[in-house]
Amino acid sequence: DIVMTQSPDSLAVSLGERATINCRSSQSVLNISNNKNFLTWYQQKPGQPPKVLIYWASTRESGVPDRFSGSGSGTDFTLTISSLQAEDVAVYYCQQYHSTPVTFGGGTKVEIK
């Protein structure tokens, strides 16, 4: 199985400041055939299911604010919230869909400082 490791486990950021979450995979999730990284970022708020923010590592899902962006390739990826808003308080997960079974990172909890 591909192991997904996120860092940090939690971070506290002031409103309007940047939040950066890292995700590392134990194997490359880059598909050579189509040059796409098979990686997704989800946001989960308490009592709710995960919600997709980013897929193909850097493509924003329809309706997701442009303050959310994804970057990286191969085994190292980053989710950036450019200007943290109160409604962004949540746990964020990366997930690879390159190989079966799909696997998730352990999550990063984002709070307001």
Partner 1 sequence: QVQLQQSGARLLKPSETLSLTCGLHSGSFRGYYWNWIRQTPGKGLEWIGEINHSGSTHYNPSLKSRVTISIDTAENQFSLQLSPVTAADTAVFYCARRKTYYYGSGNYYRTYMDVWGKGTTVTVSS
Single residue of 11, 64, 89, 102 touching partner 1 by CB under 8 A: 102
Among the listed ranges 12-20, 28-36, 69-77, 80-88, the one in contact with partner 1 (CB under 8 A) is 28-36
Q: Name the residue among 24, 28, 21 with its Cα closest to residue 4.
A: 24
Strands of the chain, DSSP E = 4-7, 10-13, 19-25, 30-31, 36-37, 39-44, 51-55, 59-60, 68-73, 76-81, 90-96, 103-104, 108-112
Single residue of 48, 63, 86, 113 touching partner 1 by CB under 8 A: 48
Site residues for partner 1, 64-93, by CB under 8 A, read 93
Residue 22 as a binder of partner 1 (CB under 8 A): the answer is: no
Report phi then psi at 112, rounded to 5: -90, 135
Could you tell me the smallest distance in angstroms from the CB atom of residue 49 to partner 1? 4
* DSSP helix/strand/coil, 74: coil
Contacts to partner 1 by CB under 8 A? 31, 33-34, 38, 40, 48-52, 55, 61, 93, 95, 97, 100-107
